[in-house]
């Protein structure tokens, strides 16, 4: 990479960093591209050299962040094969980026269907891991033979709900932490024989 390419990449990263900060603070939908540019310390027009339009920026941002998250999850799967430990670790990971996931849960229903599909696809990969761990548990006779997709929708739906209404559930601090124990407890009861 020559000097120009390095500079270009650097600017792109600044835009994405700024977009992420603003995404966490108040979401992307109601934030102006001008504000993102200002926070990144670049001209408004520059943003559109790197992303053809606002949607592309959102997709770019979410793609990167969710990929990072996916990788961390994968690591986690390798390390744990008990569902309560996995769920505990999963919640801890979300908690680490709770602002991000809260904004995501809040705004997702308003995204264009293509982007929503992308996000749900990434979620489905995570579900797949949970699915396998539960399946193994059922085969071993540890868990009741539940309909796995159903119980996972129940689980992920609830977590999504906590995140999307975070500001109504907690004034400051973590929703995930608040509901951490009871979520695991109830989910384990669902799996209980």
- Residue numbers at the binding site for DNA (CB under 7 A): 2-5, 7-8, 10-11, 30-34, 42-46, 48-50, 52-55
- Write the DSSP symbol of residue 32: -
Residues 117, 172 contacting (CB under 8 angstroms): no
Q: Which is nearer to DNA, 48 or 154 (CB)?
A: 48
Site for a second copy, rule CB under 8 A: 27, 29-30, 105-110, 113, 116-117, 120, 146-147, 150-151, 153-154, 156-158, 160-162, 164-165, 167-168, 179, 182-183, 185-186, 189-190
From DNA, a second copy, none, interface partner of 190 (C-beta below 5 to 8 A by class): a second copy
Q: Which is nearer to a second copy, 18 or 103 (CB)?
A: 103
Least Å from the CB of residue 17 to DNA: 14
Helix (H) or strand (E) holding 10: helix 3-26
Least Å from the CB of residue 109 to a second copy: 4
* Residue 73, C-beta contacts closer than 8 angstroms, at least 6 positions apart: 90, 93, 126, 129
> Based on the number of CB atoms within 10 Å of its own CB, is 85 exposed (0-12), middle (13-18) or buried (19 or more)?
middle
From a second copy, DNA, none, interface partner of 67 (C-beta below 5 to 8 A by class): none
> Based on the number of CB atoms within 10 Å of its own CB, is 60 exposed (0-12), middle (13-18) or buried (19 or more)?
middle
């Amino acid at each position: 990479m020559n000097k120009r390419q390095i500079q270009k990449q650097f600017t792109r990263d600044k835009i994405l960093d700024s977009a992420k900060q603003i995404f966490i603070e108040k979401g992307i939908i109601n934030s102006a591209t001008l504000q993102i540019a200002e926070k990144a310390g670049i001209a408004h027009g520059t943003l559109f050299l790197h992303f053809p339009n606002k949607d592309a920026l959102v997709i770019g941002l979410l793609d990167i962040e969710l990929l990072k998250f996916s990788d961390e999850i994968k690591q986690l799967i390798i390390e744990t094969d008990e569902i309560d430990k996995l769920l505990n670790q999963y919640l801890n990971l979300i908690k680490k980026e709770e602002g991000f996931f809260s904004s995501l849960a809040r705004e997702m229903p308003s995204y264009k269907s293509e982007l929503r599909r992308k996000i749900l696809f990434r979620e489905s990969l995570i579900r797949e891991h949970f699915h396998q761990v539960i399946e193994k548990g059922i085969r071993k006779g540890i868990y009741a033979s539940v309909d796995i997709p159903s119980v996972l929708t129940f689980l992920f739906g609830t977590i999504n709900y906590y995140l999307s209404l975070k500001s109504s559930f907690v004034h400051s601090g973590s929703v995930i932490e608040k509901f951490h124990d009871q979520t695991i407890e109830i989910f384990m009861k669902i799996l209980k024989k």
